Structure 1
Amino acid sequence: MSPRSFVLAALIAAAMTAPIAARAQSHGELVGPGTISTALQETSAALTPDGNTLYFMRSDFAERDDTILVSHRVDGHWGMPQVASFSGQWHDSEPTLSPDGQRLYFVSNRPLQPGGASLTTEMGGHHFAGTNLWYVQRQADGHWSEPVHVDGALNDGAMIYNPSVAANGDIYFSAHRPDSGAAYQIYVAHRTAQGYATPQRVDLGDLAHNRMDPAVDPRERFLVYAGDEGDSLGSADLYIAFRQADGHWGKPLHLPGEVNSTALENAPSLGPRFGELFVSSSRRDEVSFPKPRDNAATLQQRLEQPLNGSRNLWRFDISDVLRAHGITP
């Protein structure tokens, strides 16, 4: 488990206190039910520009065992996921693709040098698997390179999460750093000719609010993230902030419509289509009592369905929100 996982565990616990009937309203499109979205935890969707290859993270409920998987869509259906070529040995998570699809970033506790010890970090007297940012590069034959460590101050502290990459190479991510306050905040590391500059905290308001999992528009016109700005429906919801004419970020807005629920929503990512938003959500099927009497077989079958309270991948369309704020394809 990571420090961020402890935060998420607390958020999920809070969401579980919400009325069951309210969080049963699951709209949007569940991605690959039974194939991509299962009874386990699935988060962090990353789609190639053609929309036909999906990278994502699957883990146990405690998120002690995270692995990056890949699935290919054929004739409109997602194929059985396989472990990505660069994953499967370490605590790998949160894949994201550069807008051109030529580079895939992810975070991992793998050692910086072959044969070294895996990364660890400490928070509140507890030790966890650490995370540094890595990437793989698309080769001429279509395969991925060996993982490359991203050097620079963005990896200080071994607690970097959910990278998102703009078209100019700037990397947005969430972390707990010395200027984060009590919670997690969002940072940007600008790409320069000498590498990545020291991260700067993205000013989104009061540091008392927890902000995680940025998904940045390739042109940096808007930013979607998970948090609670005081009007969350449950624990963590998704918010959007728009870049202002002066270059600053506007006041975060709670995403309207069906994107948010009283369950936990986090790990947003932008798909290749305009307004396409992928979300990890723990929303579940409604359970009302008395329920039809279960036997052992029906109970197991029901609990092994995707909508059992585990996090799954969902697809939404926020194009109307973007257009209302002057954002066009």
Structure 2
Amino acid sequence: MKKILTAIALLGFSIIGRAQNSKNLVPQIFEPGVISKGDYESHGTFTPSGDTLYFIKCTYDLKISAICVSYKRKGKWTDPEVASFSGKYMDADPFVAKDGQALYFMSNRPLKDGDPVKDDTDIWKVMMTKDGWGVPIRLDVPVNSEKDEYYPTLADNGNIYFGSTRDGGKGGSDIWCCKYQDGKYQPAENLGDAINTPYHDYEAFIAPDESYLIYNSSRPNGLKNLDFYISYKQNGVWTKAKKLPEPISSNSIDWSPKVTRDGKWFYFGSTRSTDPVTPKKADNMEQLNRKLQSANNGLSDIYIADFEAIKQALK
């Protein structure tokens, strides 16, 4: 038992690194200068072991977007590399399955390599082989449709949750679920009025046991732009969503919510900047370029915060 507890403690430490002392609601930038380094970084997903992070580097409009990977080796995160299956098309929203052997993501790639890119985005899956990641395959109907699908996350029972602009929704974008039964996905179900609104609701993280759902919404009672909301499943019914407290939700764009496998840490992307109200003057181009090309410059960085503190603040 002592060895098991020690392994769990080491797992939590291996994921957090520099954010290990953030036992409060104030999010910290994850690995500034290595992972968050002044480009547009967001939409991270850790492997179950906690020693590998997949995330995206992209332009603001996603015209260029690639899935990258960093590994924790000897206590330090490595410089990111482009994932073997990415770098050509607009790929985003990675999610690693519970066994670490499958990765789901969003892409506009065509069904046949060499054809024009698609006008809409679909959900794809790539499997790990003995030689690394294999060839991505597009998930079929009912997960994908002729409209946009994005940000897949999976519960431990295989049910897949995702955002879509497909017909039958409540607004511009809704959150849907396809249950996995008898080896195949069942017809997509809209999560209903407790989750979805006439506004944009998307990028949902489902708890491994489906006990809660955290997602983004542009509904007007938020702070500004996009805010995080949480809903709990009680007796099979989703409760009315509650906004996550400040400073988790902010006046900036906050998106791509996820919780580490051990349930300890909440991590997400945000365009917030924590520079002081009276910033330091850049006296020359070298200093200006350093500010422009560093984390905390107002482009998207990956942040991490104590999930237990968030849950306590919601009570």
TM-score range, shorter chain: 0.7 to 0.9
* Aligned with 1:221 (options 211, 214, 221): 211
In structure 2, relative to structure 1, the CA distance for the partners of 1:206 and 1:70 (3 Å cut) is closer
C-alpha contact 2:259 2:307 (8 A) present in aligned 1: no
Sequence identity of aligned pairs in percent?
29
Query: Any gaps of 5 or more consecutive residues in structure 1?
Result: 1-25, 121-129
In structure 2, relative to structure 1, the CA distance for the partners of 1:290 and 1:105 (3 Å cut) is closer
**How far 1:31 sits from its partner (Å)?**
1.2
TM-score (norm 2): 0.85
- Matched residue SS, 2:289: helix
**How far 1:143 sits from its partner (Å)?**
1.7
Distance 1:259 1:325 in 2: 12
Distance 2:110 2:279 in 1: 52
Provide the aligned C-alpha RMSD in A.
2.2
Query: Any gaps of 5 or more consecutive residues in structure 2?
Result: 1-24
User: Is 1:50 aligned with 2:15?
Assistant: no
Q: Which amino acid is 1:242 matched to?
A: Y
Which aligned pairs between 1:1-329 and structure 2 lie closer than 5 A?
27-120=26-119, 130-139=120-129, 141=130, 143-193=132-182, 195-203=184-192, 204-205=194-195, 207-245=197-235, 247-286=236-275, 288=277, 292=281, 294-322=283-311
**How far 1:194 sits from its partner (Å)?**
5.5
C-alpha contact 2:30 2:302 (8 A) present in aligned 1: yes
After TM superposition, the runs of 4+ consecutive aligned structure 1 residues lying more than 3 A away are 228-231, 287-291, 320-326
In structure 2, relative to structure 1, the CA distance for the partners of 1:142 and 1:243 (3 Å cut) is farther
Q: Which amino acid is 1:38 matched to?
A: K
- Matched residue SS, 1:299: helix
- Matched residue SS, 2:151: strand
C-alpha contact 2:48 2:261 (8 A) present in aligned 1: yes
Distance 1:290 1:318 in 2: 30
| 91-100 or 151-160: bigger deviation | 151-160
- Matched residue SS, 1:153: coil
Write the deviation string for residues 68-101 of structure 1: whole angstroms up to 9, x where unpaired: 0000012332110001111111111110011222
**How far 1:115 sits from its partner (Å)?**
3.5
Distance 1:73 1:58 in 2: 18
Q: Which amino acid is 2:139 matched to?
A: V
Distance 1:262 1:254 in 2: 13
Write the deviation string for residues 49-78 of structure 1: whole angstroms up to 9, x where unpaired: 111000011101221001000000123321
Distance 2:281 2:143 in 1: 52
- Matched residue SS, 1:219: coil
Write the deviation string for residues 8-59 of structure 1: whole angstroms up to 9, x where unpaired: xxxxxxxxxxxxxxxxxx9322112111112211111110111100001110
**How far 1:195 sits from its partner (Å)?**
2.1
**How far 1:261 sits from its partner (Å)?**
1.6
Q: Which amino acid is 2:55 matched to?
A: F
Q: Which amino acid is 1:304 matched to?
A: Q
